Amino acid sequence: MDFLSILNTAAGEILSPTTAAFALATIGLNIHFGYSGLLNFGQAGFMAIGAYAFAIFTMMVDPTATLGWPSWLSFIAAILVAIVAAVIFALILGIPTLRLRGDYLAIVTIAAAEIIRFTVRTQDLTAVTGGSQGLRGQDYKGDIDAMNPLTGTTYGFGPWTATAYDTWVRIIAWSLVIVALILVWLLMRSPWGRVIKGIREDEDAVRSLGKNVYGYKMQALVLGGTMGALAGVMFILPRAVQPDNFATTMTFYIWTALLLGGAATVLGPLLGSILFWVLLSFTGGLINLLHGLGIFGAMTGSQAGQLRFVLVGLALMALVVFRPQGILGNKKELSFNV
């Protein structure tokens, strides 16, 4: 592996469907934390809910085969199932916690996300969820493949070359990201967004002005969670469903991307997600290269591979010290002791 191919791979991350999925999840978390001040430490749980609901519905119900639905209708139906599942999950999390102080939501979401992961991993559910093995991609990709209008073999150029299927997934995933960004932009310039931001600052003050704070927090939780679930669907379209992909690490990647780009900005989550994946890929490649040159001595390749997280950690520390508001964040907002 040479340096150029490292750059190439890193650049490829800019448009990868995984980056799109992360951007979507981060946009959702931005609605939670950035705008409403909700501490959701279980965004990976929402992704898992979306991914499993989509995949299981497609496999078990499979309306294309059983009901003769056109594949686009089956796909939309599966997406709707994922959304409904996320809404229910959000309600279950929100109803008991949103009346309490913010920390409770944090504890409950982090636990709930892990509960989801352990549940889908259990052996007893192997017939449905695939247990710890997860689900094979080919079992749920039929509809989306059938919908694909692209017929060629590869599309794009340079680092952004992809197969017809991958390109199709990219188009869907990035379209969703754009829709989500427009949605956030529209909402946050509206009186609804003003109430949400007010709640982030001081919910009692907003309550004293006659707004149903609980209802607004619930709406924000559901909305951001739904985006998380859609992110989960986009995340599994290019790969298989692996329960351990939805571990807490995922949640913290999403948080990192959010803080990197700048919370409470419309484009921050997008920029943060892209940068995060490009950096992760770049440092990974670099360390691999250096390891090949024998720089890390007796370390094995996978040990050295972990070093990139050290580098990411350092980069994060630097960010917190030099630009705590994130890349797009407003410095002025942070300079207050509120």
Binding positions for another protein, rule: CB under 8 A: 183, 186-187, 189-195, 197-198, 200-202, 204-213, 219, 223, 264, 332-333, 336-338
Nearer to another protein, 103 or 202 (CB): 202
Least Å distance between CB 337 and another protein?
8
Nearer to another protein, 2 or 333 (CB): 333
Nearer to another protein, 21 or 31 (CB): 31
Least Å distance between CB 170 and another protein?
26
Kindly give the pairing relationship between strand 162-163 and strand 154-155: antiparallel
Least Å distance between CB 336 and another protein?
4
Nearer to another protein, 300 or 337 (CB): 337
Least Å distance between CB 222 and another protein?
9
Eight-class DSSP state of 114: H
Reading the block at residue 157, the tokens are: 């150029």
Nearer to another protein, 219 or 245 (CB): 219
Nearer to another protein, 153 or 335 (CB): 335
3-state secondary structure of 241: strand
Least Å distance between CB 331 and another protein?
12
Least Å distance between CB 76 and another protein?
20
Q: Which DSSP string do the residues of 296-321 spell out, in sequence order? A: TTT--HHHHHHHHHHHHHHHHHHHHH
- CA dist 145 and 158 (Å) reads 24
- CA dist 21 and 43 (Å) reads 12
Q: Which residue has the tokens 């985006």?
A: 227
Reading the block at residue 216, the tokens are: 């607004």
Eight-class DSSP state of 163: E
Burial letters 192-230, b for 16+ CB under 10 A, else e: ebebbbbbbeebeebeeeebebeebbbbbbbbbbbbbbb
Distances (CA, A) of 58 to 50, 128, 138: 12, 12, 11
- CA dist 87 and 62 (Å) reads 22
Nearer to another protein, 264 or 266 (CB): 264
Nearer to another protein, 178 or 318 (CB): 178
Q: Which DSSP string do the residues of 24-59 spell out, in sequence order? A: HHHHHHIIIIIIH------HHHHHHHHHHHHHHIII
| The one-letter amino acid at 168 | W
